[in-house]
Structure 1
Amino acid sequence: MHKLLHLLFLGSVLITPIAQADFVAVVAKIKPSVVGIGTHTPTSRPQNTLRGTGFVIGNGLYIVTNDHVLPTELDKNLMQKMAVFIGSGKEAKVREAEIVATSSLYDLAILKISGTPLPAMTLSNGDMEADGSAIAFTGFPIGAVLGLYPVTHRGIISSTTPTVIPAVAAEQITLKMLKRMKNPYLVYQLDATAYPGNSGSAMYDKTTGEVLGIINKVFVQSTKESVMSTPSGITYAIPVKYLQEVLRKNNININ
Structure 2
Amino acid sequence: MAGRLLFPPTCIGCRRIVAEPGALCAHCWPALRFIEVPFCPVMGTPFQYDMGEGFLSLEAIAFPPHFDRARAAVLYDGAARQLVRGLKYGDRTDLAPLMAGWMLRAGSELLREADMLVPVPLHWRRFLSRRFNQSAELGRAIARRSDVVFAPEVLVRRKKTKQQVGLRRKAREDNVRSAFAVPEKFKARIRGKRMLVVDDVYTTGATVGAAARALKRAGASHVDVLTFARVVPESADLDGDFLPDEGMHI
Higher relative contact order (CA 8 A, sep 6+): 2
* TM-score (normalizing by structure 1): 0.32
* TM-score (normalizing by structure 2): 0.32
Write 1 or 2 for the structure with the bigger share of helix: 2
Q: Which has the larger radius of gyration?
A: 1
Write 1 or 2 for the structure with the bigger share of strand: 1
